[in-house]
Amino acid sequence: MEASKVIHAIYTDDDVLMAAVKTVRAEKHHIEDVFTPFPVHGLDKAMGLAPTRLAITAFLYGCVGLSVATLMMNYIMIEDWPQDIGGKPSFSFLENMPAFVPIMFELTVFFAAHLMVITFYMRSRIWPFKTAENPDPRTTDDHFLMEIAVHNNEEALTSLLKGTGAVEINIVDKDEDAH
């Protein structure tokens, strides 16, 4: 990659950070990433990030769960061995459906919830024993960090970021393999 150098601008206040993000975006610089200790409301919009599609996956997973429950109960209770259990009508799925609804509901929720969480882990690349990607440990406590790629415009970027209220500006050689 050409951008082997990045600039790290560090802020101590989320309102200042938001204003800085807007300024940098207005100057048409590409923000690589922003590290914050807590969710900053509206940051994704200010950075122009695309909305998440996680909810859509959850809906589809829920449909899978409902199908699994329906097919399973239909096969076991109606097709494979339709016993008379306490007089319940196991002649067809519909006739005995109220008894299956609790299971259908729970499996829908189970699939939607768990598969969505696993999707989230995979898309955000989080797993046990993963090396932390944090560029500065203070960003997990009380500092905010904006990372911008440098394209032979160090001075211009530095002065721009100084103007946005950054308390610290570091130019870092980025090791691509760290990710």
Partner 1 sequence: MEYKISNRLRTGAIILMILGALGVGYGFMDSHSVNEDNITEFLANEGHHDGAHATEAHGSEAEHGETLSEVEADHGHGAEAEVEGHELSHEEHVLHQIHNRPYAALYVAAFFFFMIALGVLAFYAIQYAAQAGWSPVLFRVMEGITAYVLPGGLIVLAIILVADSHIFIWMDENVVAHDALIQNKSSWLDKTWFLIRGLIFVGGWSAYRHFSRKFSVAQDLADVNDKSYFKKNFRISAAFLVFYIYTESMMSWDWIMSVDPHWFSTLFGWYVFASMFVSGITVIALITIYLKSKGLLTFVNNSHIHDLAKFMFGISIFWTYLWFSQFMLIWYANIPEEVTYYITRIEDYNLPFFGMVALNFLFPLLLLMNSDYKRIPWFVVMTGVVILFGHYLDIFNMIMPATVGDRWFIGIPEIGSILFFAGLFIFIVFTSLGKHPLLAKGNPFVKESEHFHY
Q: Binding residues for partner 1, per CB under 8 A?
A: 55, 59, 87, 98-99, 101
Tokens 């459906």 sit on residue: 97
Min separation Cβ 146 and partner 1, Å: 25
Q: Provide, rounded to whole angstroms, the least separation between the CB of residue 103 and partner 1.
A: 12
Half-sphere exposure of 148 (CA within 13 A, CB side): 27
Instruction: Choose between 84 and 177: whose C-beta lies nearer to partner 1.
Output: 84
Tell me the CA distances in angstroms from 84 to 6, 78, 91, 96, one per residue in order: 71, 10, 9, 11
CB 16 to partner 1: min, Å: 22
168-173 long-range CB contacts below 8 Å, 24 or more apart?
168/8, 168/9, 168/10, 169/7, 169/8, 169/9, 169/10, 170/7, 170/8, 170/10, 171/5, 171/6, 171/7, 171/8, 172/5, 172/6, 172/7, 172/8, 172/135, 173/4, 173/5
In the complex with partner 1, the residue whose CB is nearer, 59 or 121, is: 59
- Return the number of the residue (98 or 137) whose C-beta is nearest partner 1: 98
Minimum distance between the CB of residue 98 and partner 1, rounded to whole angstroms? 4
| Nearer to partner 1 (CB atom), residue 10 or residue 104 | 104
Of the candidates 138, 141, 130, 148, the residue with the CA atom closest to the CA atom of residue 5: 148
Closest CB to partner 1 among residues 59, 75: 59
- Minimum CB–partner distance for residue 87 and partner 1 (Å): 7
Determine the length of the chain.
179
State in angstroms the smallest separation of the CB of 114 from partner 1. Answer: 19
Nearer to partner 1, 14 or 136 (CB): 14
SS3 168: strand
